[in-house]
Copies of this chain bind each other. A is one copy, B any other.
Amino acid sequence: MTSYHMTPDEFRAAGHELVEWVARYMETVDGMPILPDTRPGEIIASLPNKAPEDAEPFAAIVADLDAIVMKGVTHWQSPGWFAYFPANTSGPAILGDLVSSGLGQQGMLWATSPATTELEMVVVDWLVDLMGLPQEWKTSGPGGGVIQMSASDATHVALVAARHRLENRAEIGDMVAYTSAQAHSSIEKGANIAGYGHVRLVDVDDLFAMELAALEAAIAADRAAGLTPAFVGSAVGTTGTTAVDPVSEIGEIARREGMWHHVDAAYAGTAMICEEFRHYQDGLELVDSYTFNPHKWMFTNFDCNVFYVADREPLIDAMSIMPPYLRNRASDSGDVIDYRDWHVPLGRRFRALKLWFVLRSYGANGIRHHVREHVRLAHWLEAQIEADGRLELVAPTPFALVSFRHRSGNEATNALAAAINASGHSYITASQIGDVSFIRVSVGQTATDERHVERLWGLIDKKA
């Protein structure tokens, strides 16, 4: 019988070639201009507008990968990447993902891949201890953790569970979600998608943390208007400036008001593997859900989000449906976790493998080392900026994000940002809060070390 499948031996040959290709990319990415020089539509115009009718040799695909696709790649894996937050990959993560692709597991139920479910339970439980999270969040307790695709997905699911819990008592259109004006856009987006009638972006203080009085006033006004406060999101490390909301106090308000309290530690959660940062998340005993992204700063390639709930009941209650073709003895027994009831998708890739590879290959101490080194380098950069009369900091640096601006104003700040990004070797984010433009330098790419931060500072010093 004719077969168009790649044989195992053809896979071997192409696979070895691409392992070399990825290794060479790791070795050479630092020399590549981070931003591609491509105009909208250029990649599309370089490719045929019809799929090939006949099979093409693998070499032709790799040739186009090099000649066309690579022209449009933004080098998130460059050690000069200081933009947004990192989306780190690493050798062990890539290899864990390779095994996941090869095994082709679909772990929607425990029964459809016990290993996918149980290795996931193991790694999310490991992280409870590594990050100093409440023991009740282990899968052996009333709560538990699950791997989701992104923090946006996790936050959306938290919003749905919060809404579901109150659906017998209020109209969805009357429910209100609160978060700070500096919170990530995924909370507002998730609340809109979940159907909340109202989202309040609560005022922040001088350090960009949520103002408790403003939160309480907003809740009181909404109650007076007959609305139902349902959800409050605290940030441990906002996207704008890594500000930290008063988690403990927000938790008390949430408990008193019967609201769901969700903590978004998408970026900063990784830092909690070092004890000295954990005071920033004091108050987790009054939290209903918590999310962070190993695919940001924990060297585990996208996508890998971890989401915890203190009590899994309302989550599963909001998400579970059991059709006959999915019924099985293990699920009926209640002895197993069926993770499909913990999120929107039914199908599940074996994502725990890459996180397990990373945690074992680095060891907790390895991750701690690199996190502390990134924070140390961020503080070094912060000190240079503080000592420089032309520049000023716009926010503290609790983790490894330095937020600063040119004292001459927005125009000079934006010009400096443009000059840094034009260098090719270093890339930052130009942002703004209100009318104030500033520059975000996020130190945390897997391979970033002091040479790269010094190179960036040299550039800032020259261009300011």
Contact = CB atoms under 8 A, between A and B. Distances in A.
Interface in A1-17: 1-12, 14-16
Q: Chain A interface secondary structure, helix, strand, loop or mixed?
A: helix
Interface in A305-336: 318-319, 321-326, 330, 333, 335-336
A142 interface: no
A360 interface: yes
A321 to B, nearest CB: 4
Given A98-B18, A114-B72, A325-B440, A121 B44 contact: yes
A283 B121 CA distance: 45
B361 A301 contact: no
Nearest to A56: B360
21 contacts: A1-B450, A3-B449, A5-B299, A16-B16, A40-B336, A43-B118, A49-B122, A50-B126, A53-B365, A56-B363, A69-B119, A72-B118, A73-B103, A74-B112, A84-B325, A152-B346, A163-B195, A171-B172, A193-B319, A302-B347, A324-B431
A375 interface: no
A43 B94 contact: no
Contacts of A204: none
A113 B74 contact: yes
Contacts of A1: 373, 449-450
Given A23-B11, A365-B53, A114 B36 contact: yes
Contact of A98 (B71, B73, B98, B129): B98
A101 interface: yes
Interface stretch (A183-191, A219-227, A408-416): A183-191
Interface centre among A51, A60, A330, A336 (most CB of B within 10 A): A51
Given A15-B95, A40-B336, A98-B101, 14 more contacts: A12-B19, A38-B114, A40-B335, A42-B114, A51-B364, A65-B353, A70-B115, A72-B119, A84-B325, A101-B301, A160-B193, A171-B172, A185-B321, A185-B323
Contacts of A102: 18, 21-22, 25-26, 89, 94
Interface string A396-437: 000000000000000000000000000000000101110000
Contacts of A347: 87, 149-152, 295, 302-303
Report, as a range, how many residues of chain A touch the other chain: 35 or more
Given A47-B122, A104-B302, A106-B87, A11 B433 contact: no
Contacts of A431: 324-325
A130 interface: yes
Nearest to A127: B51
A122 B280 CA distance: 45
A211 interface: no
A110 B318 CA distance: 34
A447 B3 CA distance: 9
A53 B364 contact: yes
B53 A363 contact: yes
A206 interface: no
Contacts of A432: 324
A333 to B, nearest CB: 8
A23 B9 contact: yes
A55 interface: yes
A118 B44 contact: yes
A32 B21 CA distance: 32
Contact of A104 (B87, B115, B185, B190): B87
A41 interface: yes
A104 B76 contact: yes
A452 interface: no
Contacts of A38: 114-115
B349 A5 contact: no
B4 A52 contact: no
A23 B12 contact: yes
B87 A97 contact: no
